[in-house]
Amino acid sequence: MKLDIHDIKNSPGESKSYGFDEEYPKFAFMGEEIRFAEPVHLAVTVTNIEVGFLVQGFIHAVVKRVCARCTETLTDEINSDFTGLFQQEKESTSHAGEEDEESEDEDENLEVYSYHGNTIDITDIVSDTITVEISMKPLCREDCRGLCPVCGQNLNEKECSCDTEEIDERLADLKKIFSEKE
Ligand SMILES: [Zn+2]
Ligand SMILES: [Zn+2]
């Protein structure tokens, strides 16, 4: 996902807008494979602010997830704004050791990315935005009943004949015994 900035590169204060839909590759997130159900829609404005380029954008994406309880596939919609500062990649010079200087805190909590040449690659800022937005524990529905712990039946689809209630009752009895002993 590269943006051509050559025409605003030497004009501080100038900005340029881009809008596009792009196929986005699947990626791994917390051990889960995240796939996109449709091309990712992006609207981005890049402004030359002398110290770098301010990138302000909006993303709309639909990702395919797996329900954390019943493992059914579900889709999760993302609609989010993002902002980042792109600064020219530092040429590697002979002054090794100077690189450790932290240049953060320059801008109020702006995430800083680097670019070189006449293009800004927004792949990283887009991935960062997506991973912040998607839920850690997606559910196909709020009250998903999950899978039976005994036979694995998806309890949203049908009841199984496993006696999980008896286990619950025995646990309750155990708890009673323990609380009586106190
Ligand atoms: Zn579910
Ligand atoms: Zn069962």
DSSP state string for the chain:
-EEE-TTTTT-TT-EEEEEEEE----EEETTEEEEESSPEEEEEEEEE-SSSEEEEEEEEEEEEEE-TTT--EEEEEEEEEEEEEEEEPPP--S-TTGGG---TTSSTT-EEEEEBTTEEE-HHHHHHHHHHHS-SS--SSTT---B-TTT--BTTT------HHHHHHHHHHHHHHHHHH-
The predicted structure's pLDDT at residue 109:
76
CA 117 – CA 143 distance, rounded (Å): 51
Q: 50 and 85 in contact (C-beta within 8 Å)? A: no
Give the ligand at the shortest distance from the Cα of 162: 2
For residue 78, the CA-to-ligand 1 centroid distance in Å is: 19
Neighbours of ion ligand 2 (CB under 5 A): 148, 150-151, 153, 160, 162
For residue 67, the CA-to-ligand 2 centroid distance in Å is: 19
Q: What is the DSSP string of 118-146?
A: TEEE-HHHHHHHHHHHS-SS--SSTT---
Q: Structural domain boundaries of the chain?
A: 2-89+98-133, 145-182
For residue 77, the CA-to-ligand 2 centroid distance in Å is: 32
Give the ligand at the shortest distance from the Cα of 156: 1
Interior CA angle at 110 toward 39 and 37, to 5°? 15
For residue 152, the CA-to-ligand 1 centroid distance in Å is: 13
The predicted structure's pLDDT at residue 98:
44
| Amino acid occupying residue 169 | E
Q: How confident is the model over 52-100, as pLDDT tens digits?
A: 999 999 999 999 999 999 999 999 999 999 999 999 987 655 454 444 4
Task: Output 13 or 177, whichever has higher pLDDT.
Answer: 13
Q: How confident is the model over 21-42, as pLDDT tens digits?
A: 999 888 888 888 889 999 999 9
Interior CA angle at 81 toward 80 and 82, to 5°? 120
pLDDT band at 174 (very low <50, low <70, confident <90, very high): confident
For residue 144, the CA-to-ligand 1 centroid distance in Å is: 5
Would you say the pTM of this structure is higher than 0.85?
A: no
